[in-house]
Amino acid sequence: MTLKLKQARDELEDWAKNLETKVEERTKEITAIQAQLIRSEKLASIGELVAGIAHEINNPLTGILVFSSLVNDNPKLDPALKDDLKTIVQETERCSKIVKGLLDFARESLPQKKLSSINDILDLALSLVEHQILFQNIALIKDYTFGMPDIMLDPNQFEQVFINMLLNAGQSMASGGSLNIRTGITEDGLSEFIAISDTGCGIPEENLPKIFDPFFSTKENRGTGLGLSVSYGIIHNHRGNICVQSVVGIGTTFTIELPINGEDKTEVGCGGEMYGKTDSIFQVTT
């Protein structure tokens, strides 16, 4: 009888302990889902506003570009005015780039998905940026896993995502460094991951929750702050997930996980342990 009572008490204690961990785990999950919902709602309402404004601005901008180019080609143009005109054209082009970014951000069209290889899209994105001056002092290390299955996704949208991430990495290493690109299959075998690591300036902890917000940029007038928010939208439209680990002065790793068979990854973070999460590394999981 005493033995049975002791056994029963031990079992009860075990349950209590398990329950506590379960509650903790669930609370964490709920908090993450809640944060994601707020972010999605915020992005959706900003998206609508932005799409409207961007469309309105696009037409007059095209007019300015066409007419300034016509004036530039006019033989009657005073050569002393050429430089001023060049500035007008350059700045208008910059505005067009921002508007294009806004339209991409607000794009409502569904992704044009087809079976695609992550490694091939990464190579394409790399070929477009690696010869830029920005990358001349940067050592590129490709650590691809070969033979991974193709995934149903929009290759053009992912090319854009990878270009955004590569440019961010390059811009964070103004005086050189190394860029590591790793691909593979997650431990559960359900997703493919792409980890882009740089040895750049890192992201201060207080900025981490803001980097996926539209228009958040620390690059003053060189950045629109749309690269990561556009990427976030594309990844989540593909039921994937993106998270970041960063240490100021050491570097940053962005990890994207994409489900191989379209199973939803948006409600769980990327595998923290797998990418070397430690207490000293600040991490944001979207």
Interacting residues toward Mg ion by CB under 5 A: 168, 227
Polymer length in residues for the chain? 286
- Binding to ligand ATP (CB under 6 A) within 219-238 occurs at 219, 223-229
Measured from the CB atom, the residue of 202 and 227 that comes closer to Mg ion is: 227
CB of 66 to Mg ion, least distance (A): 29
217 binds, among Mg ion, ligand ATP, none (CB under 5 to 8 A by kind): ligand ATP
Measured CA distances, 120 to 116, 159, 208 (Å): 8, 10, 30
**Does 200 interact with ligand ATP (rule: CB under 6 A)?**
yes
**Does 198 interact with ligand ATP (rule: CB under 6 A)?**
yes
203 binds, among ligand ATP, Mg ion, none (CB under 5 to 8 A by kind): ligand ATP
Are the C-beta atoms of 226 and 218 separated by less than 8 Å? no
Q: Residue 250 and residue 96: Cα distance in Å, rounded? A: 35
Tokens 């016509």 belong to which residue? 70
What string of DSSP letters covers 29-70?
A: HHHHHHHHHHHHHHHHHHHHHHHHHHHHHHHHHHHHHHHHHH
Measured from the CB atom, the residue of 162 and 193 that comes closer to Mg ion is: 162
Q: Residue 167 and residue 138: Cα distance in Å, rounded? A: 12
72 binds, among Mg ion, ligand ATP, none (CB under 5 to 8 A by kind): none
Q: Which two tokens stand for residue 214?
A: 């539209």
Please give the angle made by the CA atoms of 110, 111 and 112, to the nearest 5 degrees. Answer: 115
Which of 125, 161, 179, 201: binder of ligand ATP (CB under 6 A)? 201
Q: Which stretch, 64-72, 80-88, 120-128, 194-202, contacts ligand ATP (CB under 6 A)? A: 194-202
**Does 253 interact with ligand ATP (rule: CB under 6 A)?**
no
Which of 172, 241, 283, 285: binder of ligand ATP (CB under 6 A)? 172
CB of 104 to Mg ion, least distance (A): 12
Q: Residue 238 and residue 113: Cα distance in Å, rounded? A: 9
Q: Give the pairing type, strands 151-153 and 114-116.
A: antiparallel
Q: Give the pairing type, strands 282-285 and 251-259.
A: unpaired
Which of 117, 217, 274, 277: binder of ligand ATP (CB under 6 A)? 217
Size of the site for ligand ATP (CB under 6 A): 22
127 phi and psi, to 5 degrees? -65, -25
Q: Which stretch, 109-117, 122-130, 167-175, 257-265, contacts ligand ATP (CB under 6 A)? A: 167-175
**Does 168 interact with ligand ATP (rule: CB under 6 A)?**
yes
What string marks each residue from 14 to 53 as x (binds ligand ATP by CB under 6 A) or -? ----------------------------------------
